[in-house]
Chain A
């Protein structure tokens, strides 16, 4: 078998092994925390009227949070890349032939599997909890699928780039705060039309808004498009923005990643370990 096929198979295997590890250990609790907290919020909002549309706020939020959780792929990747650079996992990968390719593919597989897991945890109770979602239509799931796929590629390649550029897990922590800020202006928990114009414009640069919109367009009845900007689901624009991020990511992320990996060596890992132990001890 040639080396590319081996790297692909190794990456897939690695991704599945690490996914299994993350759901069979105590980490599972951490994974469950946010989806469950979100479900609790949706539960309490399930009867709250939204304006005079006859729709419940819970119904509106449910698809939006699916988009938001898709974006968490970026956060997961940033955290893991910075942590695993520090603990030497990346250097290990670098010491074996094609190891870096296998490593990154494995990360994407683990992250995507985790995201899909989040969405299942959210959707299975969520679909029963709120009323008015059009989950029975085939067209709903077709839209859901392409929005999810583009979203996974776009957000994870952004995550891979940022994870390579950020020096330490501490930096990754600060970045997570920034992501939280982005979520709050992205119309996930309340329609973006309620925000001032400049915030609306900012939100529309990033994929979170478009993922939320795409998921709403998949699962809400067509009449609900009236609440959105331009009174439309704007599928073309969604495809354009998510597609642009995905394209840039697919081209730029491997360059940034390999540049970052090239700089790794035993002494750099030792240096970071010494610094960390100093901080802790």
Chain B
């Protein structure tokens, strides 16, 4: 991602309170055109609240928010036409036929085309993109779960949005639907023109779809970067397992190569069953979430070893 692409989403000092419960405490980030960003976090972290504020569907308590240069709380219909939202359909428009519904919803966008963007998206082309050609004349209620989800994406795209929002897009999917959805999103991301922001609590999904991951926890962005960057910067520690005199050991260390060298220096051939595990994104995520849960006010990246050995999945036996 080039850093000179224009900023599409600009959020600073965003706060949200429900009564005396503070759900978002000072959230800040910038997203540039063409980025695919996953907002990752455990349930209740404030992901949905954040994305609904960006969509213009929820009023914030405080802070500055700009989506395509406009405050979503005051976005007019012209602004709305540039924003796409993928909603999870349930049983709305069940009697409408796929093509009919897309053509109808697309028609609303027709006055909002610009020199560079024709609106709406050609319906047949769009149906082809989401792979629903054979179901174009079917009533929506006859679609399978996966097909329905692809229709949801098509509806989100029909106005050729500059920004696309997806809130927990794969919640409740079966594995087939999930795989189909991921393939579709990757195809879309490859075009590089639409900025995509999605929320998920599925780490694997965030890693697979997004070029950039923001981890939201306890009302704050606690990490922000590519999957590799997060794994290196935040935990930055590898797990070293070995046995010595029949006794298993486990340590988390920043420089595993140096640590192993010292280990052999000290114990020589007595070191057995050596195994070095690179810190994975999952470790990063779990450690961040765990830390925020035990000490909500601790800033990220301030400690490592001790906590990991205390709460690690494999304890010393």
Q: Which residues of A contact B (CB under 8 A)?
A: 1-3, 6-7, 9-10, 13-14, 17-18, 21, 25, 84, 87-89, 91-92, 94-99, 102, 264-267, 269-270, 273
Contact = CB atoms under 8 A, between A and B. Distances in A.
Given A3-B112, A265-B57, A267-B48, A89 B95 contact: no
A95 B87 contact: yes
Interface size for chain B: under 10, 10 to 19, 20 to 34, or 35 or more residues? 20 to 34
B8 to A, nearest CB: 18
B155 interface: yes
Contact of A1 (B91, B111, B159): B111
Contacts of B48: 266-267
Given A6-B107, A96-B105, A265-B55, A91 B87 contact: yes
Given A7-B108, A94-B57, A87 B92 contact: yes
A266 B111 contact: no
A270 B199 CA distance: 15
Nearest to A272: B90
Interface in B64-123: 77-78, 80-81, 85, 87-93, 95-96, 100, 104-105, 107-112
A10 B93 contact: no
Contacts of B58: 265
Contact of A96 (B80, B89, B95): B80
A13 B101 CA distance: 11
A22 B242 CA distance: 71
Given A17-B100, A102-B108, A266-B48, A96 B159 contact: yes
A242 B55 CA distance: 41
A102 B155 CA distance: 16
Interface of B: 48-49, 52, 55, 57-58, 77-78, 80-81, 85, 87-93, 95-96, 100, 104-105, 107-112, 155-156, 159, 167
Closest 5 A-B residue pairs measured CB to CB? Answer: A265-B57, A97-B77, A89-B92, A97-B81, A97-B80
A95 B95 CA distance: 20
Nearest to B95: A21
A97 B87 contact: no
A87 B95 CA distance: 13
A128 B89 CA distance: 48
B217 to A, nearest CB: 19
Contacts of A269: 87, 90
B95 A25 contact: yes
A87 B90 contact: yes
B145 to A, nearest CB: 15
Contact of A97 (B49, B78, B88): B78
Contacts of A2: 111
Given A84-B92, A265-B57, A266-B57, A10 B104 contact: yes
Contacts of B87: 88, 91-92, 95, 266, 269
A99 B108 contact: yes
Given A92-B105, A267-B52, A3 B77 contact: yes
Given A88-B89, A88-B90, A265-B57, A97 B104 contact: no
A265 B54 CA distance: 12
Contacts of B105: 92, 96, 99
Nearest to A88: B92
Contacts of A267: 48-49, 52, 167
Contacts of B104: 10, 13-14, 17
Contacts of B80: 95-97
Contacts of B90: 87-88, 269, 273
Contact of B108 (A91, A98, A264, A273): A98
Nearest to A95: B85
Contacts of A266: 48, 52, 55, 57, 85, 87-88, 167
A102 B58 CA distance: 22
